Amino acid sequence: MAPRKRSRHGLGFLCCFGGSGLPEINLRDNHPLQYMEFSSPIPNPEELNVRFAELVDELDLTDKNREAVFALPPEKKWQIYCSKKKEQEDPNKLATSWPDYYIDRINSMAAMQSLYAFDEEETEMRNQVVEDLKTALRTQPMRFVTRFIELDGLTCLLNFLRSMDHATCESRIHTSLIGCIKALMNNSQGRAHVLAQPEAISTIAQSLRTENSKTKVAVLEILGAVCLVPGGHKKVLQAMLHYQVYAAERTRFQTLLNELDRSLGRYRDEVNLKTAIMSFINAVLNAGAGEDNLEFRLHLRYEFLMLGIQPVIDKLRQHENAILDKHLDFFEMVRNEDDLELARRFDMVHIDTKSASQMFELIHKKLKHTEAYPCLLSVLHHCLQMPYKRNGGYFQQWQLLDRILQQIVLQDERGVDPDLAPLENFNVKNIVNMLINENEVKQWRDQAEKFRKEHMELVSKLERKERECETKTLEKEEMMRTLNKMKDKLARESQELRQARGQVAELVAQLSEISTGPVSSPPPPGGPLTLSSSMTTNDLPPPPPPLPFACCPPPPPPLPPGGPPTPPGAPPCFSMGLTLPPDPCPTSDIPLRKKCVPQPSHPLKSFNWVKLNEVLIPLLNSHKHGVEMPWVALDC
Query: Which CATH number belongs to the domain containing residue 215 in this structure?
Result: 1.25.10.10
- Across the range 281-294, mean pLDDT stands at 91
pLDDT at position 308, please? 92
- pLDDT of 517 above 90: no
Percent of the chain with pLDDT over 90: 37
Considering only CA atoms, give the Rg of the chain. Answer: 66
Residue 375 lies in a domain: no
DSSP code at position 289 = G
Q: Residues 584-593: what's their mean pLDDT?
A: 50
Q: Which amino acid is at 208?
A: L
146 vs 73, higher pLDDT: 146
The total number of structural domains that make up the chain: 1
Q: Is the confidence at residue 529, as pLDDT, over 90?
A: no
In a domain? residue 84: no
Give the pLDDT score at 507: 92
Average pLDDT of span 249-276: 91
**Residue 192, Cβ neighbours under 10 Å: how many?**
12
Q: Which of 171-180, 344-353, 571-580 has the largest mean confidence?
A: 171-180
The per-residue pLDDT for range 320-356, each reduced to its tens digit, is 899 999 999 999 999 999 999 999 988 888 888 888 9
Q: How high is the pLDDT of residue 48?
A: 77
Are 97 and 140 spatial neighbours (Cβ–Cβ below 8 Å)?
A: yes
Is residue 48 within 8 Å of 78, Cβ to Cβ?
yes
Higher pLDDT pick, 227 / 610: 227
pLDDT at 178 over 60: yes
In a domain? residue 474: no
Output the pLDDT for position 86.
Answer: 64
Report yes or no on 223 lying in a domain.
yes
Mean pLDDT across 294-307: 92
Low-confidence winner among 271-280, 511-520, 593-602 (lowest mean pLDDT): 593-602
> Which tops the pLDDT comparison, 545 or 175?
175
The 3-state DSSP composition of the chain as helix, strand, coil percent (nearest 5) reads 60, 0, 40
Query: Which residues form the domain of 233?
Result: 209-351
Burial class from Cβ neighbours inside 10 Å (0-12, 13-18, 19+) for residue 285 reads buried
Contact 327, 282 (CB under 8 A): yes
Task: Tell me whether residue 363 is in a domain.
Answer: no
More reliable by pLDDT, 406 or 507: 507
Residue 20 pLDDT grade (very low, low, confident, very high; cuts 50, 70, 90): very low
Within a domain: 372 = no
Would you tell me how many other CB atoms lie within 10 Å of the CB of residue 461? 10
Q: What per-residue confidence (pLDDT) applies to 557?
A: 58
Domain presence at residue 296:
yes
- At residue 111 the predicted structure's pLDDT band, cuts being 50, 70 and 90, is confident
Is residue 570 packed enough to be buried (19+ CB in 10 Å), middle (13-18) or exposed (0-12)? middle
User: What is the arithmetic mean of pLDDT over 271-279?
Assistant: 95
CA–CA–CA angle 92, 181, 199 (5° rounding)? 135
Comparing 311 with 111, the larger pLDDT belongs to 311
**Alpha-carbon torsion (471, 477, 481, 486), positive or negative:** positive
Cα 343 to Cα 366: distance, rounded to the nearest angstrom: 12
Tens-place pLDDT, residues 82-100: 776 665 555 555 456 688 8
Of the candidates 129, 62, 48, the residue with the CA atom closest to the CA atom of residue 96: 129
**Mean pLDDT value across residues 354-378:** 90
Which range among 21-35, 390-404, 555-569 shows the weakest confidence by mean pLDDT? 21-35
Worst-scoring range by mean pLDDT, 159-173, 261-275, 388-402, 520-534?
Answer: 520-534
Hey, which of 40-49, 153-162, 533-542 has the most confident mean pLDDT? 153-162
The larger pLDDT score, comparing residue 585 to residue 412, is at: 412
pLDDT of residue 416: 73
Question: What's the distance, Cα to Cα, between the start and end of the chain in Å?
Answer: 107
- Assign 558 a pLDDT band (cuts: 50, 70, 90): low
Length of the chain: 636
Q: What is the pLDDT of residue 580?
A: 47
Say what the pLDDT of residue 247 is: 92
Question: Distance between CA atoms of 54 and 67, rounded to whole angstroms?
Answer: 14
pLDDT exceeds 60 at position 210:
yes
Q: How far apart are CA 223 and CA 236, in angstroms?
A: 6
Asked whether residue 387 carries a pLDDT value surpassing 80, the answer given is: no
**With 80 as the cut, is the pLDDT of residue 545 above it?**
no
Q: Is the pLDDT of residue 280 over 60?
A: yes
Positive or negative, the CA dihedral 452, 454, 456, 459 is: negative
Name the more confident of 413 and 219. 219
Does the pLDDT of residue 612 top 80, yes or no?
no
Cα gap 415→400, rounded to integer Å: 18
- pLDDT averaged over the chain? 77
Q: pLDDT at position 95, please?
A: 53
Asked if residues 410 and 419 have their Cβ atoms less than 8 Å apart, the reply is yes
| CA pair distance 636, 628, nearest whole angstrom | 20
pLDDT in tens, 231-251: 899 999 999 999 999 999 988
476 Cβ neighbours under 8 A, 6+ residues apart: none
